[in-house]
Amino acid sequence: MADSLVIVESPAKAKTINKYLGKNFEVKSSLGHIKDLPKNKLGIDLEKDFTPQYTVIKGKNKIVDDLKKSASGKKSVYLAPDPDREGEAIAWHIAGELASKKVKIYRVTFNEITKSAIQDAFKSPGQIDTNKVNAQQARRILDRLVGYQISPLLWGKLATGLSAGRVQSVALKMICDREDEILNFKQEEYWSIIAELQTADKTGFHAKLVKENDKNIKIANKDCADEILSYLKTCRYIVSEIKKQDKKKRPSAPFITSTLQQEASRHFSFTASKTMMIAQTLYEGIELGKEGSTGLITYMRTDSTRIADSAVKDARDFIESEFSKKYLPPKPQIYTTKKSAQDAHEAIRPTFAHITPDSIKQYLSSDQFKLYSLIWKRFVASQMESAVISQTSVDITAGKYLFRVTGSIIKFDGFMKLYMEKEDKEKTAGDSDEGEEPNLPDLKKNDVLNLIKLDPKQHFTQPPPRYTEATLIKELELNGIGRPSTYAAIMERIQDKDYTKKIKGKFHPTELGKILTLTLKESFSKIMNEKFTASMETDLDEIEKGTKNWLDIIKQFYSEFSTDLENAQKNMKSKSLTTDIRCDLCGKIMVVKWGKKGGFLACSGYPDCKKTLNYEKTEDGRIVPAKEIQPQFTEDKCANCGKPMILRKGRFGEFLACSGYPECKTTKPVKSKETFKEQTDILCPQEGCGGNLVKRKGRKGRIFYGCSRYPKCKFIANSLENMGDVSKK
Distance CA 726, CA 706 (A): 10
Overall average pLDDT of the 191-212 stretch? 95
pLDDT in tens, 707-719: 887 877 877 777 6
At CA 317, angle to CA 311 and CA 320, rounded to 5?
Answer: 140
Residue positions annotated with a catalytic role = 299
Distance CA 456, CA 232 (A): 12
DSSP 471-518: HHHHHHHHTT-S-TTTHHHHHHHHHHTTSEEEETTEEEE-HHHHHHHH
pLDDT class of 726 with cuts at 50, 70, 90: very low
Distance CA 89, CA 378 (A): 32
- Rounded to the nearest 5 percent, the helix, strand and coil shares of the chain are 35, 25, 40
pLDDT in tens, 286-328: 999 988 889 999 999 999 999 999 999 999 999 999 998 999 9
Give residues with Cβ within 8 angstroms of 175, minimum separation 6.
466, 467, 472, 494, 500, 507, 508, 509, 513
Overall average pLDDT of the 191-207 stretch? 95
Confidence at residue 634, expressed as pLDDT on a 0 to 100 scale: 83
More confident residue, 361 or 615: 361
pLDDT class of 647 with cuts at 50, 70, 90: confident
Confidence at residue 429, expressed as pLDDT on a 0 to 100 scale: 41
Please name the fold of domain 189-250+387-460: Topoisomerase I; domain 3 (2.70.20)
> Cβ(726)–Cβ(57) under 8 Å?
yes
Residue 362 is given by DSSP the state: G
Q: Is the pLDDT of residue 564 over 60?
A: yes
To the question of domain 257-382 being in CATH 1.10.290.10, the answer is yes
Overall average pLDDT of the 78-102 stretch? 92
Distance CA 153, CA 503 (A): 30
Give the CATH class of 137-185+465-571.
Answer: mainly alpha
Residue percentage of the chain with pLDDT more than 70: 91
Residue 350 is given by DSSP the state: B
Distance CA 520, CA 528 (A): 7
Distance CA 245, CA 390 (A): 6
> Cβ(80)–Cβ(17) under 8 Å?
yes
> Cβ(599)–Cβ(626) under 8 Å?
no
Least reliable range by pLDDT among 37-51, 432-446, 552-566, 645-659: 645-659
Confidence at residue 701, expressed as pLDDT on a 0 to 100 scale: 57
Is the peptide bond prior to 711 cis by the omega test (within 30 degrees of 0)?
yes
Overall average pLDDT of the 124-131 stretch? 96
Residue 291 is given by DSSP the state: G
Pairing of strands 237-249, 215-216: unpaired
Based on the number of CB atoms within 10 Å of its own CB, is 45 exposed (0-12), middle (13-18) or buried (19 or more)? exposed
pLDDT class of 119 with cuts at 50, 70, 90: very high
Confidence at residue 73, expressed as pLDDT on a 0 to 100 scale: 87
Distance CA 32, CA 722 (A): 5
pLDDT class of 721 with cuts at 50, 70, 90: low
Residue percentage of the chain with pLDDT more than 90: 70
Q: Other CB atoms closer than 10 Å to residue 231's CB: what's the count?
A: 13
Overall average pLDDT of the 151-162 stretch? 86
Least reliable range by pLDDT among 160-169, 386-395, 399-408, 695-704: 695-704
Confidence at residue 173, expressed as pLDDT on a 0 to 100 scale: 97
At CA 673, angle to CA 671 and CA 677, rounded to 5?
Answer: 175
Pairing of strands 677-683, 667-669: unpaired
To the question of domain 4-128 being in CATH 3.40.50.2300, the answer is no
Distance CA 226, CA 219 (A): 10
Confidence at residue 430, expressed as pLDDT on a 0 to 100 scale: 44
pTM of the prediction?
A: 0.83
> Cβ(37)–Cβ(144) under 8 Å?
yes
Q: Give the closest residue to 517 by CA, choosing from 131, 64, 99, 162.
A: 162
pLDDT in tens, 226-269: 999 999 999 999 999 999 999 999 999 999 999 999 999 999 99
Distance CA 219, CA 407 (A): 24
Is the peptide bond prior to 464 cis by the omega test (within 30 degrees of 0)?
no
Confidence at residue 727, expressed as pLDDT on a 0 to 100 scale: 43
> Cβ(582)–Cβ(173) under 8 Å?
no
Per-domain residue ranges of the chain: 4-128, 137-185+465-571, 189-250+387-460, 257-382, 576-628, 677-728
> Cβ(239)–Cβ(446) under 8 Å?
yes
pLDDT in tens, 448-463: 999 999 999 999 999 9
